[in-house]
Amino acid sequence: MNQLYTKIKLTVLALIIFQFIYMPAKAQWQQVTGLQGEPAYWIRGTSNQLFMVSSNGVLNSSNNGNQWNTVPALYLTNEVESISTSGDTIVAYAYPDSYISTNDGQTWSVINNPPAAQINSMIIEDGILFAATGGDYVYRSTNLGANWIQITQNFNSGYIYSLASEGTTILACTDDGVYRSNNSGQAFTQVLLPGTAVEKVYLSGNIAMIFSFSMGVYKSSDNGMNWIPYQPLLPFTEIRDFCVSGNKIFAAAVDLMMVTDTGALNWTAVNYNQDIDFSFSIHKKGGSIFAGTNRGIFSSSDQGLSWTETNDGIIPVGT
């Protein structure tokens, strides 16, 4: 009986000691909220909505990023690579078929991609589709992809990395410099860096930016007609996206989001106040700037001075 009593006392004592050791440690842990967003590889907006590309498909927000919803036709079944918008028309570039909505994302239909061996990107501008190809020049469609016309005039190379548009101006980045069209892509003329591969192009209003792995960043203030090397030099070797907002220039440089302005001597890193490993895309809509990161979407209403996580509804499928 004494031995049993002694065993009971020791067991109770052990439980008490365990409780005192375990409970304070447990109290140090709290449930982590936020930062639940899928990686946002691409973000673009229409007049009323935002659309973002995640690893699982496309989501949209009709309240400036406060709440995100999946786009059923483009979620979990399609490997969408980029989004392009013009007015309320949205093009989701994917392979082997791309998708288009002409009513702000309410309904979608399939675009038959042009007959090229490799398509690098697709954009929409004023109802005209343009496809950049890896060796087959530029394809152009005036009937939303029902028919395509190959544009080869004045191109010295058929490898087109990316395209950007503003009204009737189309800029094409190739492995032989930058080409410009002022007639909605019917013909192009070389305007910058012949013989040089240029990977990324951005065009908004009269401001154009390009990025070349070998030559860095160039800027145009006259709709892509004339260019100058843009100083300061960006201290990174890859840029995925640009955005100009007022006197601020943002560059999604993969590892970091960088920002500078026309009077600065160097770029500075955007501070999200969160553990962000990669920045993929940057877009301005109204008075806000939206950044696509590996932790979802962050927004800023003060030219990038402070950022707010806007990931409600963007939940990783694997969780």
Give me the number of domains the chain comprises: 1
In a domain, 84, yes or no: yes
Alpha helix stretches (DSSP H) within the chain: 2-27
In a domain, 16, yes or no: no
pLDDT tens, position by position, 164-177: 999 999 999 999 99
Q: Residue 73 sits in a domain of what CATH number?
A: 2.130.10.10
**What are the backbone dihedrals phi and psi of residue 174, each rounded to the nearest 5 degrees, phi first?**
-130, 180
In order of 106, 193, 198, 259, the CA distances from 256 in angstroms are 34, 27, 21, 10
**What are the backbone dihedrals phi and psi of residue 93, each rounded to the nearest 5 degrees, phi first?**
-80, 125
In a domain, 12, yes or no: no
Question: What band does 255 get if pLDDT is binned at 50, 70 and 90?
Answer: confident
pLDDT tens, position by position, 22-75: 433 333 333 333 345 689 999 999 999 999 999 888 999 999 999 999 999 998
* pTM for this model (two decimals): 0.85
In a domain, 19, yes or no: no
The span from the CA of 147 to the CA of 288, in Å, is 37
- Per mean pLDDT, which of 2-16, 77-91, 175-189, 268-282 is the most reliable? 175-189
pLDDT tens, position by position, 207-253: 999 999 999 899 999 999 999 998 777 766 789 999 999 999 999 99
- Please answer whether residues 285 and 50 qualify as being in contact, where contact means their C-beta atoms are separated by less than 8 angstroms: yes
Q: Which range of residues forms the domain containing residue 128?
A: 46-309
The span from the CA of 180 to the CA of 201, in Å, is 11
In a domain, 2, yes or no: no
pLDDT tens, position by position, 198-208: 999 999 999 99
Question: With 50 as the cut, is the pLDDT of residue 261 above it?
Answer: yes
